[in-house]
Chain A
Amino acid sequence: MPRVKSRDALEELIGEIVAKRDLNKPCITLCSGTACHATGSDSVADAIVEELDKQGLTEEVGFRRTGCHGFCEQGPIVVIYPEAICYLNVTPDDAPEIISKTIKETGIIDRLLYTDPSTGERIVHEHEIPFYKHQSRLVFGDNLRIDPTNIKDYLALGGYRALARVLHELTPEEVLEEVKRANLRGRGGGGFPAGMKWESTRNAPGEPKYVIVNCDEGDPGAYMDRSIMEGNPHRVLEGLTICAYAIGARHGFVYVRQEYPLAVKNLGIALEQAREYGFLGTDILGSGFEFDVKVHRGAGAFVSGESSALMNAIEGKVGEPRPKYVHTSEAGIWDKPSNLNNVETLANVPLIIEKGADWFGSIGTEGSKGTKIFSLVGTVNNTGLVEVPMGTTLRDIIYKIGGGIRGGKRFKGVQTGGPSGGIIPVQYLDLPVDFDELTKLGSMMGSGGMIVIDEDTCIVDLARYFVDFLCDESCGKCVPCREGLKRMREILEDIVAGRGKEGDIELLEEIAVVMKKASLCALGTTAANPALSTIRYFRDEYDAHIKEKRCPALVCKDLISYYIEPEACIACLKCLKNCPEGAIEGEKRVIHVIEQSKCVKCGICYDVCPPKVGAVKKISGKPVPPSLPEAERAIRKGKKKGGGSD
């Protein structure tokens, strides 16, 4: 492929690609994001290819492996075009039927369709499934149509047109102005306006200037950046190149986590193709603009996602933050002006250029424009990636799109903003989600992780988890963060172990204030948020642990016991056989009893006890009832129907 040397040549190329594509030709697409890999999309792909070959349809039917569709709960996902018939949970064994029935005879395979859990209705088309129906997928939507390893798929959807427009029609100042006017705020954490960041880097003295994509995505529970980078890497590269033009940078970096091997791979392929087509390199699209990108793999350190730490890492040094009185926009990589944006932020840029700042500004709320991708995970029915306009309520996200809480459990709260965020309780379900509203509630947007928790999650234990996480990830450079987190962890560990004492909560709050004021970087200044927000909204749970030595959610190991209810036990031997410690005593037709001294509280008995029986119980805050005398433990024949289901 010769390099594309002008804007007209790009239009010509796009025209050619589109003309060659017959939109009425059947095409099978298969989601091949990481989650679908985990559920076996590779073997489904092999089966489809083999079956197409066997039935002699390789020419007539297209097959495309796309990036993540977002509905990861139900993967692997197959969508058949042009009708957009959506099959979920597909296995390799389904391939022959999909081809002979759906492709050849346009028949629908009912068992592979989405079933609405409330009505039992089966839904044929992807866009009619409630999980998709209530979203507006402006940034993420193309993932479904693109094979990320084929630049032509991106071009067919008008890819790199925004870049061509920028290079040939707009001055760098005009690009800057457009992004500023759109009020695009950073999707990776604090929500700082991207346009202002670009401007200060542009205006900072010193050459060369650098632009960087942050795909470190260390926030546990968030994976939208991974899915964009894996599924649509050219869009990020186009956004980055536009950013470089506006700032006047000729060198760019993509910082991507080593834990994301597929993202690293697809990004590498995309870079090669972009160079080959002339979207990177010298004289891009005949404009004279020169820009290229290097990939830097992160080596597993949460703090390295912080901007100044990330720049240290790119220099090959230990990824620790620098003091923040010097902005990275003035002195970043090798002390040169450097601009860092998150993946999702940059993926929005081509859209803003193409459709205009006014259009972008018409979506969202007063202070937060556009859409946001959330990773809706935890104890919700439809887990996956969800893109909605800023300002959508938590209730719409969790119930309309997420399908509510799994297992009919009670909703307790939603954790947003990663380890530095907070937990929002049930009374704020109707809150419109945007940068400012979340901050008001003591949480934050972060990169968009939304972890739903139900009555079975212990809030104190969750706070301990976050503090433990941050303690582990604190680089140890400044005292408030290093020591503050350790002390907080000690206190929280004591509380969950039943050693909590009066005054612990106040002490936690006191430490939090110091950390907030005196830590070096954002990791430390926000590290107390999980503890503070849980104390603010769930103080009763802290009190139950401290004063009553009781864990209301029945989670904290040291405060709970497992116990078999004699009236419910059917003596089926399941728990007894599965207990790894041999702590369960009993036999067929003899009610089982847990020997408390041997029990390690692993919970396997609780998990394997048939749900209909539900004899294994967790109790907290009260003693385990004495077991029945030996003589009363025998179950007489016929006493319980369906007993002994072993």
Chain B
Amino acid sequence: MVEIDMKVKMKRVDEIIERYKGEEGVLIQLLLDIQSEFNWIPHGVIARISEKMRIPTSQIYRIASFYKAMSLNPVGRHIVQVCMGTACQVRGAPKILDRLEANLKIKEGGTTPDMRFSLKRVNCLGCCAMGPVIEVDGTYHGKVTSAMVQEILEKYE
């Protein structure tokens, strides 16, 4: 079963690589596509990219570890992003992050042991008028209060 998954996965990876083959300066774009496909960048995939694109793995790791949008660790089924932009900051975002950390029993950057949630802080989601904002799987929740946190989390299985 795992092997079949792996095959399917690599086929997807090859399709993504195919989009960029022969072009210059495309590594970041390629990795972003991988990231949005799998929610993280598995080590096996990096080896595959290295082989097909003729880019040293060290260079790929350098990029993947530098940029915040890329993750080298598996993440939970749902990604909770807490906006820590200035506008959210002055409207109480730190309290929201505290509450999320307490309720999920993980620190920012971590994933719950049941792989249900990953918690991340982002610098600005650009929804400054709605602050504090948290984003779960692409859905924005605005004007969040500490008391609302649990209710929002419960929507995601």
Interface residues of B in 51-74 (CB under 8 A from A): 62-63, 66-70
- Which stretch, B5-13, B85-93, B111-119, touches the partner chain A? B85-93
Q: Give the residue of A259, A377, A379 whose beta carbon is less than 8 angstroms from that of B125.
A: A259
B141 touches A (CB below 8 Å): yes
Assess the A297–B32 pair: CB atoms within 8 A.
yes
Report Cα–Cα, A39/B32, bound state, in Å. 28
Residues of chain B within 8 A (CB-CB) of A298 are 69
CB distance from B137 to the nearest CB of A (A): 12
Interface residues of B in 104-135 (CB under 8 A from A): 122-131, 133
CB distance from B79 to the nearest CB of A (A): 13
Residues of chain B within 8 A (CB-CB) of A219 are 124
- Which stretch, A5-13, A312-320, A590-598, touches the partner chain B? A312-320
> A355-390 interface mask toward B, CB cutoff 8 Å, 1 = contact, 0 = none?
000000000000000000001011100011000000
> B140-157 interface mask toward A, CB cutoff 8 Å, 1 = contact, 0 = none?
111001110000000000
Residues of chain B within 8 A (CB-CB) of A603 are 95, 146
- Which stretch, A110-118, A175-183, A221-229, A240-248, touches the partner chain B? A221-229
B26 touches A (CB below 8 Å): yes
Assess the B123–A38 pair: CB atoms within 8 A.
no
Report Cα–Cα, A540/B31, bound state, in Å. 49
A63 touches B (CB below 8 Å): no
> A237-281 interface mask toward B, CB cutoff 8 Å, 1 = contact, 0 = none?
000000000000000000000111100000000000000000000
Assess the A580–B123 pair: CB atoms within 8 A.
no
Find the A residue at minimum CB distance from B36: A258
Residues of chain A within 8 A (CB-CB) of B133 are 38
B98 touches A (CB below 8 Å): yes
> A470-508 interface mask toward B, CB cutoff 8 Å, 1 = contact, 0 = none?
001101000000000000000000000000000000000
Report Cα–Cα, A106/B150, bound state, in Å. 44
Given A34-B127, A378-B86, A578:B147 Cβ within 8 A:
yes
> A534-578 interface mask toward B, CB cutoff 8 Å, 1 = contact, 0 = none?
000000000000000000000000000000000000000000001
A89 touches B (CB below 8 Å): no
Residues of chain B within 8 A (CB-CB) of A80 are none
Given A258-B32, A604-B147, A221:B128 Cβ within 8 A:
yes
- Which stretch, A434-442, A449-457, A514-522, A628-636, touches the partner chain B? A449-457
Report Cα–Cα, A72/B91, bound state, in Å. 16
Report Cα–Cα, A419/B86, bound state, in Å. 8
Residues of chain A within 8 A (CB-CB) of B32 are 258, 297, 299
Q: Which residues of B contact A (CB under 8 A)?
A: 24-29, 31-32, 62-63, 66-70, 84-91, 95, 98-99, 102-103, 122-131, 133, 138, 140-142, 145-147
**Would you list 9 pairs from A and B whose C-beta atoms are within 8 A, ordered by A residue?**
A38-B130, A38-B141, A221-B86, A297-B29, A301-B66, A301-B68, A465-B86, A469-B84, A602-B98
Name 16 extra pairs, CB < 8 A, besides A217-B126, A300-B67, A604-B147.
A220-B88, A223-B126, A223-B128, A259-B126, A297-B32, A300-B68, A314-B25, A316-B24, A316-B28, A378-B87, A378-B90, A384-B129, A449-B128, A469-B123, A580-B103, A604-B99
